[in-house]
Amino acid sequence: MSGERRGGEFELIDWIRRVGPAEPPDGVILGIGDDCAIVDLSSEGFALVTTDMLMDGRHFRLADDGAEAVGYKAMGVNISDVAAMAGVPRFAVVAVALPRAIAVETAQGLHKGLKRMADRFEVALVGGDTNAWDGPLVVSVTLLGDTSPFGAAPRSGAKPGDVVFVTGPLGGSLFRGRHLRPEPRVKEALILAEAASPSAMIDLSDGLSSDLGHILVESGGLGAELDADAIPIHPDAVDQSQADGISPLDHALHDGEDFELCLTVEPELAAKVMASPPAGVQLHRLGVIAAEPGIRLRAADGRTWAIEPKGFDHLAGGNP
C-alpha cells in the first residue's frame, strides 16, 4: 500500500505483530516485519508450495459472510491443498486487496480468521502484502509445507484396478455455508500415506466428478467405475435437494468445496486397509480405476451410466 494510507498500513501491521505469537514459532527464523521472512523447512524431503486466491462475489460474499469467515476459508483451502499431497503445512504469507472504505476492520477480521485456521494446524503466518482499492476484497494465501516421510501423493499415479476412496460425505457445501469452514484432512492424509501409500490423491474443491477427473487425466487418460450407492452423501446435500430438486447424488458428485480427500490405492493395499481400517480416518470405497476413459456409475440393479465432470471451472463460466 502506498500514499496517504501508509500510516494506517503500518498501524495494521503493528497490530498483526502484536496479536501474533510472543515467541517465534518452530522454524521461523525471522517473521513479520522485514522485507522477507526467513524460515527453516525440514532438511529431509522437499518443500511443498501452493497458492489460492479468493475473490468477493466468487468464493464468498463479504457482506453476508464477514471477513473472519473469509480469512478462515482462505487459509483452510491452502492447508487442504498441502493435505492433498500428504504434506505438513508450515508457513504462510497472505496478500490482500482491501475495499478502501472498510479497509482496517476488514483486514483485522480477515487476520483473525486466517490465524484461527493457521493455529489449528500449527501454520505460522510469516508475512504478507496489504493493499487497498475501490474494488472488492481479494485475498491470496501462499503456503509452504514439508513433504512427509511417506512421500508426496501426486495426482498422476493411479493405475487400472486401483481402488477409489473418499474420506467423508459429499455435497451441499453451499447450503449451510459449510464451504466457508473447510476441515483440511492433514492428519488423515498422513495416516493414509503411511497405511495405504495412495497412488494418487486430490482434495475435493471443484467436485468429485471434476477432481477425480483430474486424477484420471493426469494418470494418463484412465477411467473409473463407481458404485452409485457407495458415494457417501452429506446431509446438506439431502436438504439442498429438497430445496432445489437436484438429486442428493448429483450434489455429491458435482458440488465443490467439500475438502475431503479422494485417493486411489493399489488393490492389495486397499484390501489391507479395508480389512483393518486405520484409526482416525473415514474411508469410503467408491469403486475402481479402469483403463477406459470416463467416469461410469453402476446402480444396485446393474444399470450403468456415464457422468460428465460438472464441477466448477472458472474459465468455462461454471456454476457459482
Cβ proximity to Mg ion: between 33 and 221 the closer is 33
β-pair partners for 17: none
Segment interacting with ligand ADP, rule: CB under 6 A, options 73-81, 125-133, 190-198, 301-309: 125-133
The residue count of the chain comes to 320
* Residue 26 is a binding residue for ligand ADP (CB under 6 A): no
Among 96, 138, 261, 283, interactor with ligand ADP by CB under 6 A: 96
Report the nearest approach of ligand ADP to the CB of residue 198 (Å).
Answer: 34
Among 16, 74, 180, 189, interactor with ligand ADP by CB under 6 A: 16
Among 71, 89, 127, 172, interactor with ligand ADP by CB under 6 A: 127
Among 4, 35, 134, 301, interactor with Mg ion by CB under 5 A: 35
Give the three-class secondary structure for 55.
strand
Identify residues 86-115 at the interface with Mg ion (CB under 5 A): none
- Residue 279 dihedral angles phi and psi, to the nearest 5°: -70, 150
The secondary element (H helix, E strand) that includes residue 264 is strand 261-265
Report the nearest approach of Mg ion to the CB of residue 304 (Å).
Answer: 59
Among 5, 32, 119, 183, interactor with ligand ADP by CB under 6 A: 32
The secondary element (H helix, E strand) that includes residue 9 is helix 6-18
Give 199's DSSP letter: S
DSSP string, 131-175: EEESS--EEEEEEEEEEPTT----STT--TTPEEEESS-BS-TTT
Q: How many CB atoms lie within 10 A of CB 160?
A: 14
Looking at the chain, the number of H-run helices and the number of E-run strands are 9, 13
Residue nearest to Mg ion (CB): 35
Report the nearest approach of ligand ADP to the CB of residue 36 (Å).
Answer: 7
* Residue 244 is a binding residue for ligand ADP (CB under 6 A): no
The residues binding ligand ADP (CB under 6 A) are 13, 16, 32-35, 94, 96, 125, 127-130
